[in-house]
Structure 1
Amino acid sequence: MKIDKNIVLIGFMGVGKGTIARELAKQTGIFAIDGDDMIESFANKKIKEIFEDDGEDEFRKIELNLAKFLEKSVSNAIISTGGGFYKVKNLNKIGTVIYLKSSFEKIIDRMKKSSNCEKKFAKRPLLSNLEKAKELHDQRDKEYEKKADFVVIIEDKSAKQIAKEIIKFIQKGKN
């Protein structure tokens, strides 16, 4: 499959953006890029360490540099992003923005059922306080929707089903 623009997956941390990106890659033959992995490679440290050592402001600066790079240098790719990436000013210039929407409770349940549950929570510093994280989720929900070209409610769907829904939307846009 060939796409005109990148597919940019946004949504709250732990919603499954990376999982969906890998499934999309499998179904389309398009490369999937993980924004958080790129940030870690650039900084030569884990995101958790960037937050601890340098603070969230420094992390957001690196994220902004990544957004500029993606806009100028990446095409025909599926890009999974960090939970706060939607705030970059050039988001819609990077590609078609897909919001993977889920309730906070379902996200936490999904993460808890994962075989590497502790690792998933440990790598997300903003999930260390679930009460604050829920507030952040609720605040971001409407913001994600405003930025998205398409919203996919992912609850009770498999990665395969979600990917098919996204592909159908992308193909409709080509007609």
Structure 2
Amino acid sequence: MQKKKKQNIVLIGFMGVGKGRTARALAELTGRFAIDTDDLIESRIKMKIRSLFAEQGEPAFRKLERTVAGWLVENVQETVISTGGGFFAVPKIRKIGKVVYLHAEVESILATIQQHPDGAKKIKKRPLLADLEKAKELFAKRLPLYRSCAHLEIDVQGKSAEAVAEEICLQLGIQKRD
């Protein structure tokens, strides 16, 4: 008997692009659950990711991302999965589900975050965005990689999470909740 297709939607993209907001809007629209890979990691290690980076470094974090990816492949179906900005690099990400790259330019991402009531807190959570030049360099390095692993790319610049969720459903042929 053939295993049922996963039917997961995996949202990838640069930090601050709105993957979490879009995942929640997509979950609401489709009746699916939404989960976040960074939240899964923090739950597993019982500490914040920034503390993990400070104490054990990026390699330890990337190893945990691979562990989470394996768990998602084996255990999760019919779910919207928002990911950290570097999660796209886990091996066989496409086995988790349909990979959707949410695209916006770095300046647009930063402007959106700064306009948020908790903007300063959100920037602090993402220290790489505090230095626009370094953020641009990282974005330029990741852009072709995001595009190469995605099944679909959605331009999110100037769009609400709800509009992006609608577009994802339309493009992937996903039925909306009644």
TM-score after normalising by structure 1 = 0.93
1:119 aligned partner: 121
Kept in 2: contact 1:97–1:147 (CA 8 A) = yes
Tell me by how many angstroms 1:125 deviates.
3.8
Percent identity between matched residues is 46
1:150 aligned partner: 152
Paired residue type of 2:170? K
Residue pairs, 1:77-156, within 5 angstroms: 77-156=79-158
Match among 23, 45, 53 for residue 51 of structure 1 = 53
d(CA) in 2 for partners of 1:53, 1:61? 14
1:42 aligned partner: 44
Show structure 2 runs of 5+ residues with no match: none
Q: How many pairs are equivalent? A: 171
Kept in 2: contact 1:10–1:99 (CA 8 A) = yes
Kept in 2: contact 1:48–1:125 (CA 8 A) = no
CA RMSD of aligned residues (A): 1.6
Tell me by how many angstroms 1:126 deviates.
3.1
Query: Relative to structure 2, which stretch is displaced further, 67-76 or 110-119?
Result: 110-119
Kept in 1: contact 2:110–2:129 (CA 8 A) = no
Question: What does the per-residue CA deviation read over 1:66-112, in whole Å, with 9 as the maximum and x for residues that have no partner?
Answer: 00000111011000000000000120000000000000100100111
Tell me: CA distance 1:30–1:23, structure 2 relative to 1, closer, same or farther (3 Å).
Answer: same
Tell me: CA distance 1:4–1:63, structure 2 relative to 1, closer, same or farther (3 Å).
Answer: closer
Paired residue type of 1:93? K
Deviation above 6 Å: which 4+ runs of structure 1?
none
Paired residue type of 2:88? Y
1:24 aligned partner: 26
Residue pairs, 1:6-21, within 5 angstroms: 6-21=8-23
